[in-house]
């Protein structure tokens, strides 16, 4: 499964890294306006509706990558999403936002990193 997660993350990164949209997405993550979630998808922090379309586009690409990989690996989209979310959260820089489950947004570097108990 670790190889599958790496392949999914590479596919997600390539799909998400296209031109101006990638720059806007990265800037919003760095500014704490978009955060990683433990389910493997992005979320908008603080109700910034102007970023909803960007987040939706990235999440569609992620779901597609997870779905394709789930079929190839004989696992579930949810399991790949959780594994991907755990890995993404672990790699966030200090100051970035993340959320576990439906909980409150947390900031990397302010207390111990909280992870979903289902993380591999």
Q: Say how many C-beta atoms besides its own lie within 10 A of residue 117's C-beta.
A: 9
Instruction: Report the predicted TM-score, pTM, of the whole model to 2 decimal places.
Output: 0.80
DSSP letter at 34 equals: E
CA dist 10 and 105 (Å) reads 25
| Torsional sign, CA 66, 67, 73, 76 | positive
Instruction: Supply the pLDDT for residue 82.
Output: 95
Of 41, 6, 9, 10, give the one whose Cα is nearest residue 25.
41
Pick 17 or 50 by higher pLDDT.
50
Is residue 16 pLDDT above 60, yes or no? no
The answer for residues whose C-beta is within 8 angstroms of residue 73's C-beta and 6 or more apart is 1, 4, 80
Instruction: Supply the pLDDT for residue 46.
Output: 81
């Amino acid at each position: 499964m670790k190889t599958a997660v790496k392949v999914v993350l590479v596919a997600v990164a390539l799909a998400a890294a296209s031109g101006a949209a990638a720059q806007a997405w990265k800037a919003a993550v760095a500014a704490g306006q978009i955060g990683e979630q433990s389910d493997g998808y992005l979320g908008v922090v603080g109700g910034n509706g102007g970023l909803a379309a960007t987040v939706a586009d990235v999440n569609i690409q992620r779901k597609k990558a997870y779905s394709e990989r789930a079929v190839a690996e004989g696992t579930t989209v949810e399991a790949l999403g959780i594994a991907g979310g755990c890995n993404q959260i672990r790699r966030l820089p200090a100051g970035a936002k993340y959320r576990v489950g439906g909980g409150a947004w947390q900031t990397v570097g302010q207390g111990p990193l909280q992870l979903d108990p289902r993380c591999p």
